[in-house]
């Protein structure tokens, strides 16, 4: 393995560990606000993963939408429901052990599966700018889903407004 390979793997591992750590923090931190901040960290980590996968556009969208919008929404919600933020009792519910067991089994199963399945890899390099092709694809091949998603967003806008207003 050459130098770049080593560095790449190291970078990947670093990012992966940070991402997972942030994810764990999200799930485990008692303070919901801190958890939300950790979630933001996870989002950044995932954006970095996208960058590694040469999906720059998606990485930027990830930051724009997840960090810029969803995380802010979550922070908002946390602040609006402040009564729950610093409770003394546990932040984990009574079924956590069952859940952890099931999820442990799930993870092990998934891991085995990932290692066992012979994934088909084409290995084509990404040459050139993917964004124009992506735009074309959205407005030609995926036009219908695109429109449906637009309508969904509109419906969400109205729905959120109606649900949340006094």
Query: If we measure between CA atoms, which residue out of 79, 164, 143 comes closest to residue 156?
Result: 164
Query: If we measure between CA atoms, which residue out of 71, 70, 51, 68 comes closest to residue 59?
Result: 51
Sign, CA torsion 137/138/140/144: positive
Interacting positions 53-72 with another protein (CB under 8 A) = 53-58, 60-72
* Residue 137-166 contact track with another protein, rule CB under 8 A, x = bound: xx---x--x---x--xx--xx-xxx-xx-x
81 binds another protein per the rule CB under 8 A = yes
48 binds another protein per the rule CB under 8 A = no
Dist CA 61 CA 41 (whole Å): 15
83 binds another protein per the rule CB under 8 A = yes
Residue 32 contacts residue 20 (beta carbons within 8 Å): no
Q: How far is the CB of 24 from another protein (least distance, A)?
A: 6
Q: How far is the CB of 151 from another protein (least distance, A)?
A: 11
Interacting positions 93-122 with another protein (CB under 8 A) = 93-96, 98-100, 102-107, 109-111, 113-115, 119-122
């Amino acid at each position: 393995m050459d130098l770049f390979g080593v560095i790449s793997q190291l970078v990947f591992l670093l990012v992966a560990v940070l991402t997972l750590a942030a994810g764990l923090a999200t799930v485990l931190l008692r303070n919901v606000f801190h958890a939300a901040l950790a979630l933001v960290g996870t989002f950044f980590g995932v954006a970095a993963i996208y960058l590694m996968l040469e999906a720059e556009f998606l990485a930027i969208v990830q930051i724009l939408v997840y960090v810029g919008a969803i995380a802010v929404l979550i922070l908002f919600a946390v602040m609006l429901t402040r009564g729950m933020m610093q409770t003394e009792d546990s932040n984990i519910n009574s079924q956590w052990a069952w859940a952890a067991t099931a999820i442990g089994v799930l993870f092990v199963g998934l891991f085995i599966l990932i290692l066992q399945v012979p994934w088909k890899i084409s290995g084509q390099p990404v040459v050139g700018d993917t964004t124009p092709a992506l735009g074309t694809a959205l407005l030609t091949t995926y036009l219908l889903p695109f429109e449906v998603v637009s309508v969904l967003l509109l419906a969400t806008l109205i729905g959120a407004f109606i649900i949340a207003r006094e």
